[in-house]
A and B are shown apart, each in its own frame.
Chain A
C-alpha cells in the first residue's frame, strides 16, 4: 500500500518542484527548472553520487544534442571521452550510409550519470537529496502536493511542492501511486549486451546497426576505446541465450554479415540482459504532477531513443512549466502545454516504434523505404533524420515515399539487365558518399 497522506486545505510549499529520480531525465529537469529560478528538490534513492543506470545502450540520438548543448554539458561530455557517432545500417539490400549530419553521442552511463548529477548539485536552487527513497505522494484534494521520502536514517520526511515530477523510469512508482492512466503494449524481443575492449568495429567511431529483420544487433563504440555490443533477438531465441549468454552474444555478433571483431575482443564488465520490456504509454500530466523520460513513455530500446527522449522531455517540461512556477501563470496551463508538446513530438515516433517492437518482420512500406535508402542518398538522408528523431515520421514518410518508389522501380528495371541481388548486397560500400 503506498504511503499516501491526504492533507486538507492549502499548504505552504517547501519547493516549487520535487523531481523523483536523479537519472538523465530527472537531472535535466532539475537543472533547467533551477536555472529558471525555481526551488527544486531532486530525490535520488542511490546514496552514491557515482551511481549509474546499468542496463542501457547509452546512445544519445542527434535530436537530443541541442539539449545537451543548452545544458552546457556537451563540451564536458566530450572531454570525458564521449564518442560522436553517426549510424551505419546493414540491411539485406546493402548498407545505408549516414549522411553528413549532427552525430549522436556515445558515453557510458558510468561516466555520464555522475556528470549529470554533479551538474544538478552545482545548480543554484537545486537541492540534491541523495540516499532518499520516495515512499509515497502527498495529496491535496485531487492534486499531488508533495512526496514522502525516507532518508538513510530511516526517517520519513514529507516534502511539499507545487509540482511533483516523476522521473523514476520505466517501472515508475510515482505512476503507480498517482494512479496515472497507462497503456502497455507488447514487446516481442529481449536484449543482451556487454562492453568489449580490443580491435574496434569497421565503422568506428560510428555505430553500426544490423537490421536482420526480425533480428537486430548493434555495435556502439564509446569512450575509453570500448565498444558496446547489443543483440535484440526475438523471444524464440531466448532459451539459447539463457543457456550461455556470453557465448551466445559473441556467436550472434560473429555470425552477422560483415561481422565486428568481437571474437578478438575481451569482455569488460558484466553481461547485461533484459527479457521483459513492454512499451508503456502514460498520461504525462495530472494535477500537480508531470512525468518525464521513461516514466512518461517507455519505448522499445531497439531504436535507441530512451536517453535522448529523457533529456528532451525534461527540457520541454521545464520550458512549459517554468513560467507557472515563477508565478506568471497557473500551473495547469503549463502542464497542459507540456502534454501537447510531448504528444506532438513523440506520438508519431512511438507509434512506429511500438508496432515494430512486437518482433514482427518489416512490412512492405518499411522494406520500400529501407531498400531505397540503400540506393539513394536523398532517401537515406530522410530516413536518417527520422531515425535520429530530428524530423517527425509521418511528414518525412509522406515526403520521401514517392521518391523511394521511383528509386526502387528504377532499380528493378536496371537489375533485369544482369546484376544479381546478392551481388548488389555485397557490392563495395559507398562510404562517405
Chain B
C-alpha cells in the first residue's frame, strides 16, 4: 500500500479547493480522480500516491461545495456545471491527456467531460459508476429529490445516523475514520449542493446509449471495478460498461460494497496501478519518439 498524499489548499477556476497531487508535477498526461457524493479529494489520497509511484502524474481535487471546497457565487450545481468546472480545472493544471478515474456521481460528471473532450481521454477507470441505462434512482436519492423531505433528511442527518445508515448497507462496514471524514465534509454547504445536484438530475440513465454510441468506436482502454454488494448502483451495470468501452477489463469485487477503495483498498490499488502501467506502456510502445511536452 502506498502512503497517502496530503491534500493542499489550491484555487481552481475561482473555487477555493484542495489538491492532491503525486508523480511528475509538470506532465501533461495525468490520472485525474473525480470523487462522488459525499466524497472529497481525500478519497483518492492513497491511490494518487500509488499512481505517482508508478511514474504517472496524479491529480485529485474537491469538487465545488464538496470536501472543503467553496463554490463561487452563481456556480451551477448540475452535472454540466461540474463537468465544466472539471474542464477548466484540467486546463489550469495543464493536463491534456487524461486517465480518468471516477466514482459514484463523479461518473456522470467525468463522462460528460469525456463526451466533450473525447480526444483528451487516454483511458477510463470506472469505480461503481458509469453508464446506467434504465437506472432508477436509489431510495436515498429519491428522498433527496423530494422537496421538504430532502431538506428534513439533511437537517436530521447526525453523525451517528449517517454512520449507521452508510455503514449498514455495506457488506463489511466501512472503516470508522473513513465514515467520520466523510461526515466531517458533509457540512451544510455540501448538503445544499447535494439537494441541488440530485434535483437537477432527473434521469441518471439519460444519454447513456448516445454516449456509448459515441465512445464505443474509439475503444478506449477501460477498467471497471464494482462492488458486488453496492446498495446504490447495482453491480449488474459493471459489464454494461462494455457498451461504451468494448475492451473494458471488468472486475466485480465479491466482498465489496459501494466504496471498494475503502473496503478493499489493496485490490483496487493493484488493479488500478496494473491497468495504468499497461495503458501507459502501450502508449509508450506506440509512440516511442514523441515525448510528452510539459505545458
Contact = CB atoms under 8 A, between A and B. Distances in A.
Interface of A: 92, 210, 212-213, 215, 217, 233, 236-237, 239-240, 251-252, 254-257, 259, 418-425
Interface string B263-282: 11001001100000000000
Contact of A237 (B167, B179, B252): B252
Contacts of B267: 254-255, 257, 259
Contacts of B167: 420-421
B172 A425 contact: yes
Contacts of B228: 212, 215
B264 A257 contact: yes
A421 B251 contact: no
A420 B173 contact: yes
A423 B250 contact: no
A47 B212 CA distance: 56
A251 B172 contact: no
B255 A420 contact: no
Interface string B173-203: 1111001000000000000000000000000
A421 B239 CA distance: 30
A422 B174 contact: yes
Interface of B: 167, 170-176, 179, 228, 236, 239, 250-255, 263-264, 267, 270-271
B172 A422 contact: yes
A335 B172 CA distance: 50
A422 B255 contact: no
Contacts of A418: 176
Given A420-B173, A422-B173, A423-B175, A215 B263 contact: no
A304 to B, nearest CB: 19
A211 to B, nearest CB: 10
A351 to B, nearest CB: 26
A247 to B, nearest CB: 9
Contacts of B264: 255, 257
A212 B255 CA distance: 6
A237 B270 CA distance: 22
Contact of A240 (B174, B175, B239): B239
B236 A422 contact: no
B173 A239 contact: no
B176 A92 contact: no
A425 B173 contact: yes
B171 A92 contact: yes
A92 B255 contact: yes
Most buried by B among A92, A215, A419, A425: A92
Contacts of B171: 92, 213
Q: Considering the complex of A and B, which 3 residue pairs feature the smallest CB-CB distances, nearest first?
A: A421-B173, A420-B176, A212-B254
Most buried by A among B172, B228, B270: B172
Contacts of A424: 173
Contacts of B254: 210, 212, 215, 217, 233, 252, 255-256
B175 A239 contact: no
B72 to A, nearest CB: 37
Most buried by B among A252, A255, A418: A255
A420 B167 CA distance: 9
A422 B250 contact: no
A213 B170 CA distance: 13
Contacts of B255: 92, 210, 212, 256-257
A92 B256 CA distance: 10
Nearest to B268: A255
Contacts of A240: 239, 250
Most buried by A among B171, B175, B251, B254: B254
Nearest to A93: B172
Contacts of A425: 172-173
Contacts of A92: 171-172, 255
Contacts of B250: 240
A420 B179 contact: yes
A217 B172 CA distance: 18
Nearest to B177: A420
A255 B253 contact: yes
Nearest to B171: A92
Contact of A236 (B174, B179, B236, B253): B236
Given A92-B172, A420-B173, A422-B172, 5 more contacts: A212-B228, A236-B236, A255-B267, A255-B271, A259-B267
Nearest to A422: B173
Contacts of B271: 255
A420 B252 contact: no
Given A215-B228, A256-B255, A420 B175 contact: yes
